Structure 1
Amino acid sequence: MFATLLELSVAYAFICILVAMLFCTIRLVIGPSAHDRVLALDTLWMCTMLLAIVLGIRFGSQVYFDFAMLIALLGFVSTIAIAKFLMRGEVIE
């Protein structure tokens, strides 16, 4: 009948992450410069990683945590590649 504190916390975190993802998507679409868009994309993959962690806590499955680790690794590498491209105009020298 009554939800536990963990269930309420997970639901609140889920809603907050979805709102943050919405704001990041808006900034990604209407960002005035490429740097704003890169920052929005960087924040968006972090929110996606957090969403996978929250879902892993909610459902009690290890698969979500593995998925979050994969998102973190790919997001970090892609952010470095995009930043290098914006600074020098090429990714591979």
Structure 2
Amino acid sequence: MTIIVVIALIVVVVSMFGFLYRAVKGPSVADRVVALDALGISLMAVIALFSILLNTTHYISIMMLLAILSFLGTVSFAKFMDKGEIIEYDRHHRQ
């Protein structure tokens, strides 16, 4: 069982290098956003595999925190790409 987890860990780390390359060298901003999202998912997979390898459940909360932060980052980038701003401020409709 341990050898399978180690092999999976190596495969995920190698794929993370590909995502990192795409995040730096991506031809468009959308490619970079997708690569950063995939990098966050891969990092969660690495944490989960380490948790299995070390036979502990203490890393699951760290993985969930990383999932929330990755989701918020992806949504922020998508909103920025769509509208050009993350937080909308409308002075005219203020009460």
Cα RMSD over matched residues?
0.8
> Given the two structures, how large is their TM-score scaled by the length of structure 2?
0.89
Q: Tell me the residue number matched to 1:83.
A: 78
Inter-partner Cα distance in structure 2 for 1:30 and 1:7 = 35
User: Runs of 5+ in structure 1 lacking a partner?
Assistant: 1-5
Mapping 1:1-93, distance limit 5 Å:
6-93=1-88
Bigger Rg, structure 1 or 2: 2
**Offset, 1:63:** 2.0
**Offset, 1:15:** 0.6
Q: Aligned with 1:62: secondary structure?
A: coil
Q: Aligned with 1:37: secondary structure?
A: helix
Q: How many residues align?
A: 88
Q: Which structure: greater helix fraction? A: 1
Give the fraction of aligned pairs with identical amino acids, expressed as a percent: 38
What amino acid is aligned across from residue 70 of structure 1 in structure 2? L
User: Runs of 5+ in structure 2 lacking a partner?
Assistant: 89-95
Residues 18-69 of structure 1: per-residue CA shift (max 9 Å, x gap) = 0110000011111111111001000000000010000000001222111111
> Given the two structures, how large is their TM-score scaled by the length of structure 1?
0.91
What amino acid is aligned across from residue 37 of structure 1 in structure 2? R
